[in-house]
Amino acid sequence: MRMKAGWSFKWLLYAAAGLICLYLLSPLLMIAVTSISTGSSSKFPPAGLSLEWYQKLSEQTQFLEAFRNSMIASSGATLLALFCGTLAALAIVQYPFPGRGLLRALFMSPMVVPKITLGIAYLILFSRMHIAGGLFALILGEAVIVFPFVLSIIGGALANLSPVHREAAADLGASPVRIFFTVTLPQLRLSLLLAGSISFVFTFDQVETALLILRQGSYTLPIQLFLYMEKWQDPTIAVVSVVLIAFALALFFVIKLVVRSAPGVATLLGERPKKKRLRRPM
């Protein structure tokens, strides 16, 4: 009886997991089917199937320019947040000082402040600095928003590092800077990659802050899609969404390839290194 109860619970979990997967994939499948519709409006199910909207996407140059702006803003904000977040985590975790708990709470505060409030604050600040409206202002604003993610991930990784290697390097006469680049930083590769990936994805979809800071001509892709939907309801939005899904999948496989090719990182992910086959002596 106990064995049957275990099997029933197991199949119940399988059914729940299947329903969750179906719920997650259904919107994506509907977008993919809508993107190959022959109609002039986004309708599901479509009356016919065609790739004409993919061909027309090449004529929408504003999306390509907005995609370039999104890539510049997300990459810049991610790099800036990684640089500042790593330094802040290093100071808080490895060099304790009075008030570090209060400082850490201050650094984490952008996570709980509404994004629309941050956007208004940045608009006032950057207007006073005469940099509002451009991508540089957006990079500064988005870096602050993703800074808590970087500080949390890198800080947790630093707290779990063993001090033995740093102490050994210090005993051999290495300076703190050299210890950081030769001992600490190589052990943070996976955490940096994880924090950078989360920050990039988060900033790429950022709308609230970007909508307030940017002006026409430097709009990012989410804003351009939003403005397009206000005027048109054709399947172009679905086509752009499918292209973004393909881009996200490609980015995922590139990151996975980089992780596997980096020596030692695959081991940190839990993958066992392949054993070399020994040849028998002739």
Residue 24 lies in a domain: no
Collapsing DSSP states into helix, strand and coil, what is residue 132?
A: coil
Residue 218 lies in a domain: yes
Residue 240 lies in a domain: no
Residue 166 lies in a domain: yes
When divided into structural domains, the chain yields a total of 1
Residue 143 lies in a domain: yes
Q: Tens digits of per-residue pLDDT, 157-207? A: 998 888 888 888 888 888 888 888 888 888 888 889 889 988 998 898 888
Domain ranges, residue 177: 72-232
Q: Rounded to two decimals, what is the model's pTM?
A: 0.79
Q: Cα separation of 32 and 239, whole Å?
A: 8
Quick one: CA dihedral 188, 104, 213, 137, positive or negative?
negative
Residue 88 lies in a domain: yes
Q: What is the CATH number of the domain that holds 205?
A: 1.10.3720.10
Q: Cα separation of 163 and 159, whole Å?
A: 10
Of 154, 182, 183, 184, nearest to 89 by C-alpha is 154
Residue 221 lies in a domain: yes
Q: Tens digits of per-residue pLDDT, 115-160? A: 888 888 988 998 888 888 889 999 999 999 999 999 999 999 998 8
Residue 13 lies in a domain: no
